[in-house]
Amino acid sequence: MRSIWLRRLRRLKPRTFQARLSVAFVTVIALTLAVVSIFVVNRLDDYFTRQQEADLKERLTTVSAFVQSITTGSSRGQPVIDRDGFVAQRVLSGLEDDAVRVIADQIAQADVIVRLGVTVAVEGQAPQFLSASNGTVFLPRQAPPDPGQARERTSVTGYVAGGPVDRRYTIEVTLADPYTYRATAINNVTGLLAAIALFALGLAVVVSAALARRFTTPIRQLTDASRALAEGDLTRRVPAAQLRAGSSELGELAVQFNTMADRLAESVELIRRDRDRSRDFLADVSHELRTPLAALRTFNQLLMESAGDDPEARTEFLESSAGQIERLDWLAQNLLELSKLDSGLVLLDLRPDDLRAAVESATHQHDALARRRGVTVELDLPSTPIRIRHDPPRIGQVVANLIGNAVKFTPREGVVRVSVESTQDGARIDVTDTGVGIDASELPHIFERFYRGSRANEARGAGSGLGLAIVRSIVDMHGGTVTVESGPGTGSRFTVRLPSDPRNVAGTPAAQRAAVATAAEGSERIAAAAASDPAEAASDASQDALRNMTETSPSDSPHVNPASAP
Ligand code: ADP
């Protein structure tokens, strides 16, 4: 039974933060009001009681004096107490006279009880009456109470002595149950306090609800935004400026939340783009592979069927098959190269060699092709060496891809010019042709994988759209840039800018590896040599680490022949 009630009570407990704040605030106000009211009413009651006692005692003195004079007057010289100890009848009659009764209403403002008799004194107590069989007179208050007055259950008693020494008697006067304003005053004050408390409580409810709302609105907004984010709405943010107006801590939290949401959205977007790219890449790869494979299957079928008996047709099909196989091999090599470059598996073999050598060698690779196509390739090299840190085979691959394209897209009698020059912060390679050029709308796409332009006509068929993607990956790894200027019919100019040392370009793999290796090697060497010569060990270690990073052995770095369309 008890547990059922407890469960019910628990169910009544407010659940939301806003409700709890409101209830707590109102409870505190209610408790404060209750304590203050009880204290005030109590003190007021004490004060009235004391006032009333003092007032009653004052009246008692007056009434006692009056009763004494009446007693003396009505005894008319005779003893007030007779020999048997009884009060004389005329004294009692005198006290019960109507003219005397008015003292209850007019002086005492309470019931008056008068007792006459002989008393003995008892130490520490009121005098004890020896005989009082007929010595008590009751003079009740007769007038009705004034509006607001009420009878008070209290009394005061006083004693006065009278009579000669041998006939001593005592007059006991008691004022009982007076009419007072105390109860009414207390009731009025209590009522007023209750009204004030009710008003204050109402105000507290309104204020606490408003305050709690002000506190909890930002939290609710944060909760809503988190929920939206969790449900996949990555655009949802919390209005931080609004929250800061409420409380700076919550504003700070909102700013942090928004930053986190921004990062999350960026990451998701990056992953999405990466996924889309991978999907497109896979689709493109399958498409590229399907064409040569379909051709091979057809040749094979034809050879197995009728064409197999015809030596001329057989030779032609076998030659075509060899061409397709070569193309498949070339495609596979380029794809492998590109995926290695993208995955970061390729470590550049950076050497401070003469850049002219790599460019010259790459240019000569295309001599035969250019001659066949009737295109002149001009090489313009400076007379002095250009020593920048680079990976010679890979830069050779970049130049070879650019020259391969230039030759491919330049008609007979055209010219392809290759030039190298030293710049302030590295070197620059230009491959210029007088070929078909590229439409402005296609320029932003030519470095994308598998992208092939529309103006390239029959030459497009020879490419795979991977050459420039490889060029850009290699140049990026060197911390350089590749740009193109071109227009339809005016030829194209591809410009590659390389820094003098890729390790100094923030963000390149070489710079990252150099930093990591310097830290690791440095701390290892410093620890090992600290005992012998600490200063020398530290400087040696950092220099060696840098050297190690750049001069990886050639066998570590995968090398693929420059991509050129077969
Ligand atoms: P591909 O291996 O097919 O040549 P690339 O990535 O090297 O692929 O080139 C992509 C596209 O860029 C080509 O299909 C062509 O449209 C355009 N392109 C590249 N180089 C040149 C150039 N020198 N002249 C004209 N168009 C070019």
Question: Measured from the CB, is residue 467 less than 6 Å from ligand 1?
Answer: yes
Distance CA 407, CA 374 (A): 9
| Ligand 1 lined by 460 (C-beta under 6 Å) | yes
* Closest-lying ligand 1 atom to the alpha carbon of residue 491: 24
| DSSP 8-state symbol, 443 | G
C-alpha span between 120 and 168 (Å, rounded):
10
Q: For residue 463, how far is its CA from the centre of ligand 1 (angstroms)? A: 8
Query: Which ligand 1 atom is the nearest neighbour of the CA of 456?
Result: 16
User: 438 CB less than 6 Å from ligand 1?
Assistant: yes
Pocket test for ligand 1, best of 398, 410, 446 (most atoms within 8 A of CB): 446
Measured CA to CA, the distance from residue 369 to residue 62 in angstroms comes to: 145
pLDDT score for 560: 34
Residue 492: the pLDDT is 96
Is 0.85 surpassed by the pTM of this model? no
Q: Whose CA is nearest to atom 14 of ligand 1?
A: 452
Q: Mean pLDDT, consecutive 10-residue segments, the chain of 566 residues?
A: 75 78 87 91 90 91 92 83 81 87 89 89 83 77 87 90 82 92 89 91 89 81 89 85 69 87 90 83 81 87 76 83 86 83 80 95 93 94 95 94 94 95 95 93 89 64 79 93 92 96 83 72 57 45 38 33 36
pLDDT at 536: 44
Cβ–Cβ < 8 Å for 390, 498:
yes
Q: What is the pLDDT of residue 462?
A: 60
User: Per residue in 291-329, pLDDT tens?
Assistant: 889 888 988 888 887 766 778 888 888 888 888 888 888
Instruction: List alpha helices for 387-500, DSSP H.
Output: 392-408, 457-460, 467-477
Decide whether any atom of ligand 1 lies within 6 Å of the 436 Cβ: yes
Candidate of 408, 409, 443 to mutate for ligand 1, largest count of ligand atoms within 8 Å of Cβ:
409
405 lines ligand 1 (CB under 6 A): yes
464 CB within 6 A, ligand 1: yes
Task: Indicate which atom in ligand 1 lies nearest the CA of residue 436.
Answer: 25
Q: Over the Cα atoms of the chain, what is R_g?
A: 58
Calculate how far, in angstroms, residue 549's C-alpha sits from the geometric centre of ligand 1.
35
Which one, of 350, 36, 56, lies nearest residue 182 by Cα?
A: 56
Around Cβ 317, how many Cβ atoms within 10 Å?
21
**In angstroms, what is the span from residue 446 Cα to ligand 1's centroid?**
7
In ligand 1, the atom with minimum distance to the C-alpha of 494 is 23
221 lines ligand 1 (CB under 6 A): no
Ligand 1 pocket check for 446: Cβ under 6 Å: yes
C-beta of 453 in contact with ligand 1 (< 6 A): yes
CA atoms within 13 A on the CB side of 52: 26
Query: Do β-strands 150-151 and 169-176 pair in parallel, antiparallel, or remain unpaired?
Result: unpaired
Question: What confidence score (pLDDT) does residue 543 get?
Answer: 41
Is the CB of 451 within 6 Å of ligand 1?
yes
Hey, which of 281, 375, 399, 438 would you mutate to test ligand 1's pocket, going by the most ligand atoms within 8 Å of its Cβ? Answer: 438
For atom 19 of ligand 1, the residue with the nearest CA is 405
Nearest CA to ligand 1 atom 25: 437
CB-ligand 1 contact for 409 (6 Å cutoff): yes
- Distance, CA of 242 to CA of 258 (rounded, Å): 13
Give yes or no for residue 334 CB within 6 A of ligand 1: no
Q: List pLDDT tens digits, range 527-557.
A: 565 455 444 444 444 344 333 333 333 333 3
Q: How far is the CA of 438 from the centre of ligand 1 (A)?
A: 8
